[in-house]
Structure 1
Amino acid sequence: MLISKNSIKMENDVSKLRQEEQAELAVFSFNPISSHLFKVNVTISKPVIDVLYQETVLLFRKKNLDGFGQNAAPVEYIEENYDVEVNRRIKTYVFRHVIVDFLFKELISRKIPFANYPRLIHVTSADDNVLIFSFDLSLTESMELKEWKNFAFKTPKRKRYKDLDKQVLQFVDQNTCLNKRVNSSIVEEDDWVCFSSTLLDQNMAAVIPMITSCFWTKIKKNEISNKFKSSLIGKSLGESFISNDFYFEDDTDYYENLNHHFSITIKAIVKGKLLSIDLFKQNFKLKNKAEIHNKIMEVFSFRNDISQRRTIIEEIFNLLLAKHRFEVPKHLILRRQEDILATLMHQPDYHVYKSQKDFLKYVELLAEKDLKEETIIDQIAYKENIAVSIEDIQFYLNLLSNKRIREFTYFKPSTEKIEDMDAPINHGMLAHTILREKTLNYIIHMLTH
């Protein structure tokens, strides 16, 4: 049990927390277990847990429970008979709406280079009514970077088929025209939407004003039956509304239609059907139409089924890793192999791949390659003090949404295809991935100009 039954002081505790605008929401601690393994604890403060417990008990009272009508079940009865369910709701909410973004923000701000995602080990409640989320975190090798900006790099040449230039011109003209006709301030099908969410109480006031979560989600045509995603269509940038349809699938495992209300605000919209030429020009630091043309050509020009863009990336990593020699610990490779295999298992051709004699060896080499690339990228990102803005995320998702130029994105926020994920994605997870993507683009720019 998170708090004792007799500690419910509904209005007083809620009022007190709302007045403490500077109250400490969470505490981050970082303790070594071995040279490459650390334990990270994120502790949520007592006032936050107390208020969430009170609000969740009130939510359960709205349900017809065990013969009691709505709002008729005594608080003490719910505490005694639904303690497990109430606490599970609190842990789920705190993890999704507080912990994930807070954890990634702390890791990035403290410049902690890590391999693989932090792994949640357990959640415990202490005697003083705090909630502690414990993670295992694998650190990558620290290294002294050489003067990589002075490395000699020759950009791989493009194919010279005349038709390629015509294709690029048509692509640019088409997207330029579409940009003029599309209303970029209204949510439509195929768009990516960034929204903030704030938990509301029974009076539709913020339960804990300092907790405002930020998520990204894609509005896919086959998901219009999803009430929450459907409610986003037609909304304007900056528009706010109240919804009790925003929840993750496993939030309602215990009791159907027992959902919190949230205040939702549309923070950003990324059009999914076209490329923003302005964002493209700005993020790749392009000066004129000729440079835009040449940059887009990188994903139109292929040699031996590999695009010029991918060849540039591969050769830059070969150069960086040749100049910075290091080994990846075996346990990190094994963990990444697990992630890769878990993804491959959902692909239709998995059994065909698996039947190949060198399949597992290939997966091992791929895992090692990914980890080495991420390690060197993280080191450069922190050394160069590269930061991620919401515009960087918009640009990344804009590229990802367009199949013709998707190859401009290299790093992914998980081993899954994020455009196929049903659940909203935490802003912090995307920011961590796009820090790597932005750093890669920075390196390419420095070595090719």
Structure 2
Amino acid sequence: MKHTEYGNSLLECTVSYQTPTFAHAKITIPAVLVDDVYNQAVKSYQRTLQTSGFAHAHVPAEYVKQHCKHHLIEHIKEFIYNFFVISFLHNELMRKRIRIVGQPRLSDLFVEPGQDAIYTFELTAFEPIPFLEWKYFSFKAPKRKNYKDLDRQVETFLEEELKNKENYPNDGATVNDWVGASICLVDEQGNQLCSAHNERIWLKIGDEEADEPFRNIFAGQQRGQSFVTNISALQEYFSPSFQSDYQFKVTVEDIIPHQYFCLDQFKKYFKLKTYKELNQKLIEVFSYRNDLSLRRSMVHESLKLMFAKHRFSVPYHAVLRQQQHVVEVIQNNPDYHVYRAQKDFTDRVRELAERQVKEMILLEQLAFGEELESTDVDVRGYLSFLQRPRMKEFLYFDSPVTKVRAQEQPMPDGIIRRRALHEKSLNHLIHHLAKK
């Protein structure tokens, strides 16, 4: 899916540091875009509002603006945040190489018709780590097991996926495929609004009953196809608290099929040139020792070496937030109460949270210091790994939670790109340490 350079858009992002570890990011949306959304919201209310004294769908615009102003403003706050702000924010932070830990936190917003909208986010930043010449560190990479059965397993995997590709009907997107799409707001005549702004999303087509709305509009669609829709699922995604009936033009820009794992994409992702290199790379997720894959062992040893050579502290409040996240994840485990009863539970959670924060800091700085960018190849590779349980082992960080109330939800392109960048940074580290 083609990546738009958000820096050329009408939106603006400015970052100001209050301390070396705390900053504000301010996103400004020009009044012309705010008014486009506001006017569409008024028209939507005119069509759906039922009030005494007016026939259905004939409520005057001025009446709506006067009597529904609070609801209109609250609605467009949500819509602007999801349609304009969130992807733009993440892409701008990467483009400007702003080093942060965790997610940006919305702290303030101002939205009024006829005026620029402003969304302000708090960022947990960190002071630069004085990196040594890490590419020349002595690194002893973990070795694979020398069982011939491992090579046979890899050969079988390759044969199966090549056969799956040969049998792929290529008749459009289907269940369990990832679909990349651009979405723009259009009027009743199909004219693009909001200066033709396109919001880019990724969606996994689910197979549950709750997934039917998105499945119905994307199933069978080919790359490059466009259509106009007003399905409620999109309305709820952009503004979950309010009902609307906007028209959206949706263009399918990419499809990552579930039926086969694309080996050509895999080779591009890891820059593999020969069949031998392909085989060696796949061995990393087939060779296990003490329930730990070779790939995971390489990650652990690489990070362990970097931490041993670079001593640095982490923002205390970042660790606290990560502790909360760790506990939330553990609470979903059936054995949570067993873990919670352990005397050292709190200490272990804190240690895990601190390690995770240190990993994020190190890889964030490495990515920007090495001038890495999250490209289309990286995003496609990242999502393709999610299509096979075995291939997920190539991803170190937790995969995104895509389901809300048992329904697959769109994911903003900017969030996916940032996740892909962290994995790319880790791959870059392992590649240079292990190639000697």
Please give the TM-score of this superposition, normalised by the length of structure 1. Answer: 0.89
Deviation of the 1:184 alpha carbon: 5.0
Residues 332 and 253 of structure 1: is their aligned pair in 2 closer, same or farther, counting only changes over 3 Å? closer
Deviation of the 1:290 alpha carbon: 2.1
Match of 1:231 among 217, 221, 224: 217
1:141-181 per-position Cα deviation (integer Å, ceiling 9, x unaligned): 21222111111112201112222221111111101111122
Greater alpha carbon shift after TM alignment, 274-283 vs 177-186: 177-186
- In structure 2, the residue matched to 1:340 is 326
- In structure 1, the residue matched to 2:239 is 251
Deviation of the 1:203 alpha carbon: 2.0
Match of 1:100 among 62, 86, 98: 86
1:39 aligns to what SS in structure 2?
Answer: strand
2:157 aligns to what SS in structure 1?
Answer: helix
- Paired letter, 1:138: T
- In structure 1, the residue matched to 2:10 is 25
Q: Distance in 1 between matches of 2:383 and 2:195?
A: 29
- Paired letter, 2:235: Y
Q: Does 1:444 align with 2:430?
A: yes
- In structure 1, the residue matched to 2:387 is 401
Residues 144 and 315 of structure 1: is their aligned pair in 2 closer, same or farther, counting only changes over 3 Å? same
- In structure 2, the residue matched to 1:285 is 271
Deviation of the 1:352 alpha carbon: 2.7
Residues 402 and 345 of structure 1: is their aligned pair in 2 closer, same or farther, counting only changes over 3 Å? same
Answer yes or no: is the 8 Å Cα contact 2:102–2:124 preserved in 1.
yes
1:247 aligns to what SS in structure 2?
Answer: helix
Deviation of the 1:70 alpha carbon: 3.6
Deviation of the 1:297 alpha carbon: 1.1
1:249-268 per-position Cα deviation (integer Å, ceiling 9, x unaligned): 5835344xx32110000011
Structure-to-structure mapping, 1:200-239, within 5 angstroms: 200-223=186-209, 225-239=211-225
Identical columns (%):
31
Q: Distance in 2 between matches of 1:434 and 1:106?
A: 15
Deviation of the 1:411 alpha carbon: 2.6
Answer yes or no: is the 8 Å Cα contact 2:33–2:195 preserved in 1.
no
Structure-to-structure mapping, 1:60-71, within 5 angstroms: 60-67=45-52, 68-71=54-57
- In structure 1, the residue matched to 2:342 is 356
Structure-to-structure mapping, 1:183-332, within 5 angstroms: 183-184=169-170, 186-223=172-209, 225-245=211-231, 246-248=234-236, 251-255=239-243, 258-332=244-318
Question: Number of matched residues?
Answer: 425
Residues 91 and 373 of structure 1: is their aligned pair in 2 closer, same or farther, counting only changes over 3 Å? same
- Paired letter, 2:34: I
- What are the ranges of 5 or more consecutive residues in structure 1 without an aligned counterpart? 1-21
Answer yes or no: is the 8 Å Cα contact 1:274–1:402 preserved in 2.
no
Residues 374 and 104 of structure 1: is their aligned pair in 2 closer, same or farther, counting only changes over 3 Å? same
Residues 410 and 23 of structure 1: is their aligned pair in 2 closer, same or farther, counting only changes over 3 Å? closer
- Paired letter, 1:289: Y
1:15-41 per-position Cα deviation (integer Å, ceiling 9, x unaligned): xxxxxxx99622222222233111221
Deviation of the 1:422 alpha carbon: 2.6
Greater alpha carbon shift after TM alignment, 419-428 vs 235-244: 419-428
- In structure 2, the residue matched to 1:40 is 25
Answer yes or no: is the 8 Å Cα contact 2:180–2:255 preserved in 1.
yes
Please give the TM-score of this superposition, normalised by the length of structure 2. Answer: 0.92
Match of 1:58 among 43, 47, 53: 43
Greater alpha carbon shift after TM alignment, 143-152 vs 426-435: 143-152
Residues 417 and 72 of structure 1: is their aligned pair in 2 closer, same or farther, counting only changes over 3 Å? closer
Deviation of the 1:127 alpha carbon: 9.3
Tell me the C-alpha RMSD between the 2 structures. 2.2
- Paired letter, 2:129: M
2:110 aligns to what SS in structure 1?
Answer: strand
1:74-109 per-position Cα deviation (integer Å, ceiling 9, x unaligned): 112111221122112211111111101111111111
- What are the ranges of 5 or more consecutive residues in structure 2 without an aligned counterpart? 1-6
- In structure 2, the residue matched to 1:5 is none
Answer yes or no: is the 8 Å Cα contact 2:319–2:350 preserved in 1.
yes
- In structure 2, the residue matched to 1:153 is 139
Moved over 6 A (4+): 417-421
